[in-house]
Chains A and B, each alone.
Chain A
Amino acid sequence: MNVTPEDKSPEASRLSALLWAIAPVVAALLFTMLILLAVGAPPVRAIATILQGAVESPQKWADVATAWVPLALVGAGMSLTFAAGLWNIGAEGQIILGAIFATWVARNVALPQAPLLALIILAGLLGGALWGLLTGALKVYARVHEIFAGLGMNFIATALVIWLIFNPWKPASGATMSGTEPFPEAAWVPRLGQTRLPPLAVALAVVAVVTAYLLLKGTRFGLALRAIGKNHRAAYLQGIPTRRHTLTAFVLCGAMAGLAGALQATAVYHRLIPRISGGFGYTGMLVVLLAGYRPEWVPAVAIFFAAIGVGSPRLELNMQLDASLGGVFEGAVVLFVLLGAGLRKRLARERG
């Protein structure tokens, strides 16, 4: 007899869904352990070290929450561009531009803390939105695939931030890769007690996730974006202004990424550094892929990635292993989830 998923009892199908969700994570864990065995490191101890590094103290929880902010912001933004079927790989550059705009304000505007921070946030949104708009314009008007447009803009942003740090904004003591001089304290996002956690940054990221969710689920704009993502041509023929919506998606995603950059500069480093984007543009993309492009899943997935990001440097301290193992595990989870989803679909097709 042919057993299709509908024939099974609800418990059995729930169980199989659970197994399909867990299996890729287990596979990724095994893969990471094999890599550890390959370099002669004790696998269980290495993974325990990462976990311990992420949760051992309230300070670490605060660090995880801080690392969660850029991932959630970029993830929320990309759920909008992905809805329209766009690969906004340029988020990395959009983060950098947000940080640059915020740095300009922090260095040049003398205001009390509250209005200054408001201005910095606006500048970050604006810088990222501008870079997103340029990427979108390359896509819409110059017909460059957004992956290459975004990469080009990333390269330019990287060169720009380094030029700024080494020329107009170089510290009096001389330019180095450690960045500009610290901002005046009025431009620092306040921290919670003795921890490194900036509550304002967390709140802004929550707002961004909710905004992305509401835009996609509750507005005509969100509906139109998803129509474009499903079938660009059909959406265009139905009279949806595809160009304007595509540009808007890039602007919104850019703004959220830019905010992430502004917060990295003013809440985490208190200065502009060459690697201000911290690869969050790329990791953020992994977050959205793992979240199945859905903004409601972004926060949870981002916590998982943030914890690994905070825990893995511990490998270098305790075991003389490179921290990139965390990235290996993250990448492996996403890869096996994609493969698992494909396998499940294929099996269902063959049975049905």
Chain B
Amino acid sequence: MDGFIISTLASLVANAAPIVYAAIGETMTEKSGVTNLSLDGTILLTAMTAFAIAHNTGSLALGFLCAALIGAAVAFIVAFASIDLEQEQVAVGFVLTILAADLSSFLGNPYVNQPGPYLGQQPIPLLEDIPVLGPIFFQQNAAIYASYAVVFLAWWWMSKTQPGLKMRGVGERPASAFARGVNVHAIRYAYTMVGGALVGIAGATYSLVVKLGWSHNHTAGNGWIALAIVIFGGWDPWKVAGGAYLFGMLKALGSVLQRNPAFVNVPTQIFSTAPFALMILFLALTSSGLTDRFLNLFSPTTRRRLERLIRGRAPAALGQPFHRE
């Protein structure tokens, strides 16, 4: 395959990594019954935090760690407000989106356009020599490799382990989980914060790996995309990851087309916003009545298979407070 295509695909895989982290984190949070709407702001705040910490201490690991902690802390506010204070999750999440974004602008101001440390290439010996796949997947770095693992781990945890089963029970039927002796509130707190930590890692992956450094609204829009991808992927880690790569592909396509002389008159902003709009359009298409009509053209078995492929069901108790009576 031609070197240009391979390097484009490699950058696609890298660019999708933060979206994978954020969307998988949110999937776990939502599977337990809580919506953390604050992703767009949290990613900004944690991207800024990671860069500022790494810039001041020289330690990338500390940057990632602090970003994860801040992500978990924002998620804790969502959990506390919705679980213990029974405030509307969407309202709290929206306010935190705006607050975290403004905080990132204010606190990050001294770091705008500063040079700083970043995570360079860490090819994996042997694997990197596989033709085509090697240069695409295995000439990246630890943060990108871990994003592959996170998808697998989330799937395995949620569908193959006892605690994962409990977590899904809490998101589907909290009352019966409670009756079986499950501490619904503790589990929701835990997964909201684990999800938030992953969102924080998404932020750090932006500023330290794929979109280096810091500027005002450095990552704006990507958190909303991650939230949309959770729905698009039907709360299934594999499909959610697929959605993240699809979005990465749209972005890569945009930057390839942008360099094509035929599109020289089209402003760059069109190419940078189009993937966001298209992603939402995909979401609209897969959930619309139009798709129902299309699916009706197939035999019932094929129809069911296709439906399972493109649609997922939200956790039944998503967004609902649970009272222990």
Contact = CB atoms under 8 A, between A and B. Distances in A.
Contact of B95 (A144, A156, A162, A338): A338
B95 A341 contact: no
Interface string A84-120: 0001010000000000000000000000000000000
Given A142-B288, A289-B95, 20 more contacts: A35-B107, A39-B110, A142-B285, A144-B284, A144-B288, A147-B90, A148-B224, A148-B231, A149-B284, A158-B269, A158-B273, A162-B273, A163-B270, A327-B105, A328-B102, A330-B98, A334-B95, A338-B87, A343-B85, A345-B85
A138 B92 contact: no
Interface string A307-342: 000000000000001101111101110110011011
A324 B105 contact: yes
B5 interface: no
B102 to A, nearest CB: 3
Given A138-B284, A142-B290, A167-B267, A152 B99 contact: no
29 contacts: A87-B94, A141-B288, A148-B228, A149-B280, A152-B279, A152-B280, A152-B283, A155-B277, A159-B269, A163-B266, A166-B267, A283-B98, A286-B95, A286-B98, A321-B109, A322-B109, A324-B105, A326-B102, A327-B99, A328-B106, A330-B98, A331-B96, A331-B98, A331-B103, A335-B92, A335-B99, A338-B91, A342-B81, A342-B87
Interface in B222-271: 224, 227-228, 231, 265-267, 269-270
Contact of A142 (B102, B221, B224, B284): B284
Interface string B29-44: 0000000010000000
B322 interface: no
**Most central of B37, B96, B98 by chain A CB within 10 Å:** B98
**Most central of B85, B86, B290 by chain A CB within 10 Å:** B85
Given A321-B109, A328-B102, A142 B289 contact: yes
A282 B288 CA distance: 27
Contact of A345 (B37, B86, B102, B270): B86
Contacts of B87: 338-339, 341-342
A159 B98 contact: no
Nearest to B98: A331
B53 to A, nearest CB: 13
A339 B267 contact: no
- The prevalent SS among residues of A at the interface is helix
A34 B288 CA distance: 47
A163 B85 contact: no
A169 B142 CA distance: 47
A345 B279 CA distance: 40
B86 A159 contact: no
Interface residues of B, number: 48
A235 B70 CA distance: 42
Interface in B260-318: 265-267, 269-270, 273-274, 276-277, 279-281, 283-285, 287-290
A342 B84 CA distance: 8
Given A152-B280, A321-B106, A325-B106, A143 B98 contact: no
B280 A285 contact: no
B284 A151 contact: no
B288 A156 contact: no
Contact of A331 (B95, B273, B276, B290): B95
Contact of A155 (B101, B265, B273): B273
A145 interface: yes
Contacts of B37: 147
Contacts of B287: 142-144
A346 interface: yes
Per CB-CB distance, the 5 closest pairs between chain A and chain B, nearest first, are A342-B85, A152-B280, A331-B99, A327-B102, A142-B288
Interface in A129-167: 138, 141-145, 147-149, 151-152, 155-156, 158-159, 162-163, 166-167
**Most central of B95, B267, B273, B287 by chain A CB within 10 Å:** B95
A163 B98 contact: no
A253 B92 CA distance: 22
A148 B232 CA distance: 11
A324 B99 CA distance: 10
B286 to A, nearest CB: 9
A335 B288 contact: no
B97 to A, nearest CB: 8
Contact of A143 (B105, B110, B265, B288): B288
Contacts of A35: 103, 106-107
A172 interface: no
Nearest to A177: B269
Contacts of A334: 95, 99
Contacts of A149: 280, 284
B126 to A, nearest CB: 42
B280 A155 contact: yes
A42 B269 CA distance: 39
A143 B291 CA distance: 11
B40 to A, nearest CB: 9
Nearest to B276: A155
A282 B228 contact: no
A327 B284 contact: no
A346 B86 CA distance: 8
Contacts of A325: 102, 106
